Amino acid sequence: MAREGYRSNERQGFRDQYPSEQVVMDRRLALGILGVAVLSTVAGFRSFFHHRAEFAATVKQVEARLGIKRPLEKLPKGCLIPEDERGGKNFLTSLVPKFSPFPVVGGYSFENNLSPQTDPLLAALPKDAHVRLLVPEESSDEALKYVQNKFPHLSFTTHGLPLAEDGYTYPQDMVSATGSVDEAGRFILAGSALEAKDFASCKQTYESTKRAVASLVPLRAVSDSLSNEDTIEEAGAVLHEFGDEILAERHGDSFTLKYVPVMTEGGDLKITRLPNGGIGLIVGKLNLSRTIMSMQLAENPGVADLKMLNEVGRDKFVVLLEKVKALYKEYFAVDEVIIIDEPYIRGEARRNGYVRHSGLRSYGFFHCDMLVRTATDQNGKAVAFCSSSNMRDRGDGGNCRYLFRVQEQFASLGYDVESMETGQYPSMNYANSVMFRNGEAKVVLVPQYGIRQDAAAVEAYRRRGFEVRVVDQSYIQKLPPEDKALVGGPDCKLVVLG
């Protein structure tokens, strides 16, 4: 009330020269707040530059530890194109003549062994699409003859690789396609500089870690050339010659590889159009766990057993998690990185005081392409087509809760969620679909397993304006249970290059 009297210049000057006790206190408070703000700003700048320095140090450490031959490259901004926005002109798949999930009848051949798996996919592709085939080098002519006779509406190129004729390669796990081409018209692939080499530092026998190494490099042709006495270091050196690296080296006229310091297994790494229109990257738990494991190995080069690194303390894990997200964001030039089930992972770390790598990989839905498929629908809305499960049908509460958490996560991020119930096995899901543009239409290849859930999945995609082309995958029903659980779906077998 008294302050209202200080309105003349004289009185205002008097107040400035002889401020009241309250004014003095106010000014001291203001100066205190200003001081805190300045200190916070300085601390923020220090934290920012410290983070940048730590980030750069991590990259250098990884480069030095793994002896990367080529420099790491950041993908150009705008290079990543979500699959539902890519033109359906170029695809990549693999044909391995002696692989068969069935008892062999009438000898090994493309016709006997591959028809149930690949024919429905190729038949669903648009007219005049070009398909690049990854084939064993000695089978190139046979593969080309087979597909040209059977699918005259398509054109083909074979890319011979040292594949095992009796193994199956899921190309989605071998390459991570960006959907773009470079100035020379080569398809840009993102390749991990960490594959195999990180695990090569562990002095274990090859046999004892065979599954771990095989899961890192989808091209498993070298396994038969290694004996049980070979060390993992020797195995890793051989394995590193395969995968997307050898594809780019041998067929450099068609593919170019950009090395990044994170894991890039394609089935566990997906590009998404965010609800706000930006570009995001969905990173699954396998890629997360393996990238963190690589960082741990870089920091602990003398580790002799991977099990020693299985348990990560809470604070350490959170630091590594933030580093991983920063690396993916930096090198893929995206607006946001979405780690599958991240809220739950962080909660578990707080509750338990640690995180186990084995816990991150314990679910049957081991790749993010089994969990969720994102797209933009006919009304411009970001949609997440999510797997769901009926616990009463499956008797598997862990998986059911996991799938529900993923749905909640994407709903909280602003996606419209379409829930699609899976079959008895995780492989019988409908998120593992293939999307591309065909003119103005958006097409989705939806697997059908000959089960009651088939029709509802088709309707979920149609409801969002997609042109649905069904892909018969009912051959899975004839497989033994252990194969039913692991066999790949359409997204595993077919890569949309753009």
What's the confidence (pLDDT) of residue 275? 98
From 126-140, 152-166, 217-231, 313-327, the region with the lowest mean pLDDT: 217-231
Note the pLDDT tens digit of each residue in 461-476. Answer: 999 999 999 999 998 8
pLDDT at 218 over 90: no
CB-CB contact of 159 with 133 (8 Å): yes
CB-CB contact of 77 with 119 (8 Å): no
From 59-63, 112-116, 334-338, 351-355, the region with the lowest mean pLDDT: 59-63
Q: Which two tokens stand for residue 247?
A: 């594809």
What's the confidence (pLDDT) of residue 169? 67
What's the confidence (pLDDT) of residue 164? 56
Tell me the C-alpha distance between 476 and 487, whole Å. 8
Scan for tokens 């390669």, then name that residue: 169
pLDDT at 313 over 60: yes
Note the pLDDT tens digit of each residue in 330-385. Answer: 999 999 999 999 999 999 999 999 998 888 866 688 899 999 999 999 999 999 99
What's the confidence (pLDDT) of residue 397? 58
CB-CB contact of 392 with 398 (8 Å): no
Q: What is the DSSP string of 209-231?
A: GHHHHHHH-S--GGGGG--TTSB
31-35, 189-193, 239-243, 427-431: which is most confident: 427-431
Q: What strands lie across the sheet with 416-421, from one edge to the other?
A: 372-376, 382-388, 416-421
pLDDT at 277 over 70: yes
Averaged pLDDT for residues 53-82: 67
Tell me the C-alpha distance between 268 and 257, whole Å. 18
More confident residue, 49 or 407: 407
What's the confidence (pLDDT) of residue 266? 87
List Cα–Cα distances, 17 to 10, 11, 454, in angstroms: 11, 10, 83
Percent of the chain beyond pLDDT 70? 67
Phi-psi region of 439 (alpha: psi -120 to 50; beta: other; left: phi over 0): left
Scan for tokens 């040209």, then name that residue: 148
More confident residue, 365 or 410: 410
Cβ neighbours for 131, distance < 8 A, ≥ 6 positions apart: 90, 91, 92, 93, 122, 125, 147, 154, 155, 156, 157
Superfamily of domain 67-195+243-496: L-arginine/glycine Amidinotransferase; Chain A (3.75.10.10)
Instruction: Identify the DSSP state of 89.
Output: T
Tell me the C-alpha distance between 428 and 59, whole Å. 39
Query: Strand ranges (DSSP E) for 278-333?
Result: 279-283, 311-313
What's the confidence (pLDDT) of residue 243? 66
- Say how many Å lie between the first and final Cα of the chain, rounded: 72
Tell me the C-alpha distance between 216 and 287, whole Å. 10
Cβ neighbours for 92, distance < 8 A, ≥ 6 positions apart: 131, 132, 134, 171, 175, 177, 494, 495, 497
Averaged pLDDT for residues 436-447: 96
What's the confidence (pLDDT) of residue 138? 77
Give the global pTM.
0.80
More confident residue, 52 or 378: 378
Binned at pLDDT 50, 70 and 90, residue 168 comes out as low
Binned at pLDDT 50, 70 and 90, residue 305 comes out as low
More confident residue, 170 or 125: 125
The neighbouring-strand residues paired with 472 are 448
Mean pLDDT of the chain: 76
Q: Helices in 336-396 by DSSP H: which ranges? A: 342-352, 357-360, 391-394
Averaged pLDDT for residues 454-460: 98
25-29, 57-61, 153-157, 210-214: which is most confident: 153-157
